[in-house]
Structure 1
Amino acid sequence: MEERWVAADDPVLVPLLEDLARDYDARYAPTDGVPSSAELTRYPPEVFAPALGGAFLAVLDDGELVAGGALKRGGPGRDGRPLAEVKRMWVHPARRRLGLAGLVLAELERRAAELGYTGLELTTGARQPEAVALYLRHAWAPDFDPAVPQDEAAYLRFTKPAPPPDRGAAGGATGRATTGLE
């Protein structure tokens, strides 16, 4: 496995974006005639650029994209500082249930700390129970009661403190973090 930090408009991400669009449209009805996949064009690629506090991770196996996820600057945390927002979490359908989503999530958390964020946030939809289970397994705090059916909720929000930056990784906070993806 190879991990690569890429621009949000890098052609390597096409399978991720196409499959997310298909999945969103299959799970969620259009709103006012707008397909659910329109969410993927809500933010310009630049918001995922490192210069704006973002990052986009592509995980490849033999050159094939198998997983990925992104960060962008989010809303303010309790301390008033911006949170990193996790977006575009995806694992190739043939590679699900192998732990890749957890590895991508952990790498995004590490990158958020390296970028100086003290916390993270994300939202997912109620029709993505596997995503909700993933975030709960990885100690993300729900801003809702997970015991209550969430069928009507538009978005389910989670937060988590960023881990301390790994200054021991090659090059410290500016170097490439070492992960279990390698």
Structure 2
Amino acid sequence: MSTGSSTGTAGLVVRTAAVDDPLARPLFDDLAREYGTRYGGTPEQVREELLRHPAEEFAAPGGVLLLLLEDGAAVAGGAYRRYDADTAELKRIWTHPAHRRRGLARRVLEELERRAVAAGYHRLFLTTGPRQPEARELYLRTGFRPLFDLAADPETIGPLPFTKDL
């Protein structure tokens, strides 16, 4: 069940959702497929890992799961959860494969950042995988500071941590 919504521009609607909302299923299904392809594991195994955090961590007041809807279908999304008293941890940033290269992930990041500030957070934290160069570049272009050596081979680092002051 969706837990609220607000309108976006250019025909997109931003909607908050619960982890088990049917509208969020494409996000989790596609991330499971994508991560399984890049890192190994069946979609079922990866989906289980994606859902390891309790759903309530992605609900107000400490968290949120957002979806960008176009014609009623999720085309992008992302979430945050409380990392510590001042920091929100971004998770599950996703764009449907048919809708990539439209700036939707950037829009998701901007909305998550706006909501994190409204919720009282002063910093964002996230990690992305070493086999996701497009995510790494997105975070660098949107003002995130890498907490790793950019010159190092990402495969030697493991998860790539970033932070951003709000």
Q: TM-score if structure 2 supplies the norm length?
A: 0.87
Asked if 2 retains the 8 angstrom alpha-carbon contact of 1:73 and 1:85, the reply is yes
Distance 2:35 2:86 in 1: 27
1:128-163 C-alpha deviation (Å, 9 max, x unpaired): 00000000000100000112211132210000012x
Match of 2:115 among 92, 108, 111: 111
After TM superposition, give the deviation of residue 101 of structure 1 in Å: 0.5
2:81 is matched with 72
Give unmatched runs, 5+ long, in structure 1: 76-80, 163-182
Letter of the structure 1 residue corresponding to residue 48 of structure 2:
A
Asked if 2 retains the 8 angstrom alpha-carbon contact of 1:57 and 1:70, the reply is yes
Structure number with higher strand proportion:
2
How many residue pairs match? The answer is 153
1:47 is matched with 57
Greater shift, 142-151 or 88-97, is seen at 142-151
1:25 is matched with 36
After TM superposition, give the deviation of residue 9 of structure 1 in Å: 1.6
Match of 1:154 among 129, 136, 158: 158
Asked if 2 retains the 8 angstrom alpha-carbon contact of 1:125 and 1:154, the reply is yes
Distance 1:45 1:37 in 2: 13
Q: TM-score if structure 1 supplies the norm length?
A: 0.80
Match of 2:130 among 126, 129, 140: 126
Question: For the pair shown, which has the larger CA radius of gyration, 1 or 2?
Answer: 1
Q: 4+ runs of 1 displaced by more than 3 Å?
A: 34-38
Distance 1:23 1:121 in 2: 22
Distance 1:3 1:47 in 2: 20
Query: Following superposition of structure 1 onto structure 2, how do residues 50-65 of structure 1 map, counting pairs within 5 Å?
Result: 50-51=60-61, 53-65=62-74
Give unmatched runs, 5+ long, in structure 2: 1-11
Letter of the structure 1 residue corresponding to residue 72 of structure 2:
G
Distance 1:24 1:89 in 2: 12
Asked if 2 retains the 8 angstrom alpha-carbon contact of 1:57 and 1:68, the reply is yes
1:6-57 C-alpha deviation (Å, 9 max, x unpaired): 1222110000000000111111134xxx944432021011110103x00110
2:7 is matched with none
Higher RCO structure, 1 or 2 (CA under 8 Å, sep 6+): 1
Distance 1:38 1:147 in 2: 33
Distance 2:99 2:83 in 1: 29
Percent identity of paired positions between Structure 1 and Structure 2? 51
Distance 1:152 1:41 in 2: 26
Letter of the structure 1 residue corresponding to residue 128 of structure 2:
T
